[in-house]
Amino acid sequence: MIMRKMLQMIGAGAAAVLLITGCGNGGAGGSMETSGGTGGKAEGATYTFRLAEAHPADYPTTKGDMRFAELVKERSGGRITIDVFPSAQLGEEKSVIEQVQLGAIEFTRVSTGPMAEFNKDFGVFSLPYIFDNDDHVWSFLLSDAGTGLLDSLESSGMKGLAYYSSGSRSFYSSKPLTKLEDLKGMKIRVIENKLNMDIMEALGASATPMPYGEVYSSLQTGVIDAAENNYPSYYSSKHYEVASHYLLDSHQRVPEVLLISKQVWDKLSAEDQEIIRQAALDSIEYQREEWAKYEQESEEKVREGGATITEISDFTPWKQAVAPVIEKYRSQYQEVLDAIEAARP
């Protein structure tokens, strides 16, 4: 933890230096040398940007980031370099989002979960059981309504470039966990937003917001009883070592989102904007393929590691328990919920 905090401090300091340097050269939060063009948006400029990623280097979202960076470098003829910093080297997701808003970090990949604190429309993804399966998720994300949500981030100082896969989220615990009733009274770590806290309350549990990097030790020491996430995160974080009971309730399907600072975006030429936008979209298929492979590998690994996996045959009690949460937020997300319903395959 001490080493991680030191890395985050160093990352934040470097960000400030790059921001000052970039602005001094007519850039936007990264190093840039102008090789031609006129006006505020330099044509043929050379950039070196950074992309903050919370997950390890071999994780599917990180691989998606790297594919995106490769495409940008290739299509810009080497003028635009995007260095990916995995394992939360530049900070945890919430603090990174704040730095992206300021232009101190140029790109990031984050869960849409904490995005609700910065753009309320993104809270819709935290609503439980609004998607039937992965096909339903992507039918919505690739629709005009899904693109509209990405575009709405501009009012929050960011530009949404693309969505990435993140499967479904389920509960895991250091205590036996096989049915809904087992959640009663459990202290469960959640992503830091109000909606997730409401879901835990509806399920009879106690919500405990905390950064992702603190979950392992908190499970190990009993600060929390449980957490919830997808198979790959359950495996890559090694949470299965300290919480070996995994219940496949799939209560949420919360996609990832690839972002660029709007301050940075607005200072790019139209040509470079198009290179970055299309590269992000073209990296989706690769990321989804990597996700599917890693999800299967993760399941095999956690089973080999001794985790007890329980599947649910009847989701009716779960949906009934959280129905009041959906009704509480329905008026706020009615338009998006209608679009999600319409996107059902």
Structure confidence by residue, pLDDT tens digits, 218-249? 999 999 999 999 999 999 899 999 999 999 99
Helix (H/G/I), strand (E/B), else coil: 87:
coil
Rounded to an integer, what distance in angstroms lies between the CA atom of residue 53 and that of residue 93?
Answer: 8
Indicate the average pLDDT of the chain: 89
- Name which residue leads in pLDDT, 3 or 179: 179
| Predicted pLDDT of residue 9 | 44
- Rg of the chain's alpha carbons, rounded to an integer? 20
| Predicted pLDDT of residue 21 | 38
Alpha helix ranges (H) inside the chain: 2-24, 60-75, 93-102, 112-115, 134-141, 144-152, 194-202, 215-221, 231-236, 262-266, 270-282, 284-304, 316-342
* Cβ(249)–Cβ(205) below 8 Å: no
| pLDDT confidence tier of residue 340, bands split at 50, 70 and 90 | very high
* Cβ(256)–Cβ(109) below 8 Å: yes
| Predicted pLDDT of residue 23 | 39
Q: In the chain, pLDDT over 90 holds for what percent of residues?
A: 80
Strand pairing of 46-53 and 80-85? Answer: parallel
CA separation, residue 303 to residues 130, 160, 231, 238, 322 (Å)? 28, 36, 11, 12, 29
Return the H-helix or E-strand segment holding 31: strand 31-33
Number of neighbours of residue 116 by Cβ within 10 angstroms: 20
Positive or negative CA dihedral for 305, 307, 311, 315? Answer: negative
| Predicted pLDDT of residue 43 | 58
| DSSP category for residue 116 | T
CB burial of residue 117 (10 Å; 0-12, 13-18, 19+): middle
